[in-house]
Amino acid sequence: MPRTRISIALYLFLVFASGILVGIVSFRLYSTNTASANNSPQSMREFRKRYLDGMRTKVGVSEAQIVAITKTLDETKQKYDELAAQEQPLHDKIQQDHIDQIKALLNDQQRIAYDNWRAERERAKQQAKQNKK
């Protein structure tokens, strides 16, 4: 039985409509996932602002309590900074042992390239740290 022009047009419409529907659903799914992934704070200042805003809106603390909470946050940050300072020498030693072991596996030309590569990575790390502040 030959297909009429109307049935061919109907099939084409159904194919395009289903494609549009799949596109809309995919877009909504993608935009929901990326929006929740980008919702994390990018700096400590932003984290602190969101934390205090949450305490105000969700918990209902007063401004006097906000002052006390801010003081507690400052003291906690100081404790973490002190802990990091105590651990830093051990971290540096482990990292230097790693570097020495890697260099022992390389020839002279590779060591030079490795040192240059590490210097590039360190510059990028410092740049990222500057941008984060």
| DSSP codes of every residue in 11-23 | HHHHHHHHHHHHH
Q: Where are the domains of the chain?
A: 1-39, 40-132
**pLDDT (tens digit, 9 = 90+) per residue, 23-70?**
998 888 887 766 555 566 678 888 899 999 999 999 999 999 999 999
104 by Cβ neighbours in 10 Å (0-12 / 13-18 / 19+) ranks as exposed
Instruction: Give the residue with greater pLDDT, 3 vs 108.
Output: 108
**pLDDT (tens digit, 9 = 90+) per residue, 22-36?**
999 888 888 776 655
Amino acid at 97: D
- Which pair of structure tokens corresponds to residue 63? 């401004």
47 CB neighbour count, 10 Å cutoff:
13
Amino acid at 34: T
What's residue 37's pLDDT?
Answer: 53
The pTM for the full model equals 0.51
What's residue 13's pLDDT?
Answer: 92
With beta carbons less than 8 A apart as the criterion, state whether 71 and 48 touch: no
Average pLDDT, stretch 75-102? 94
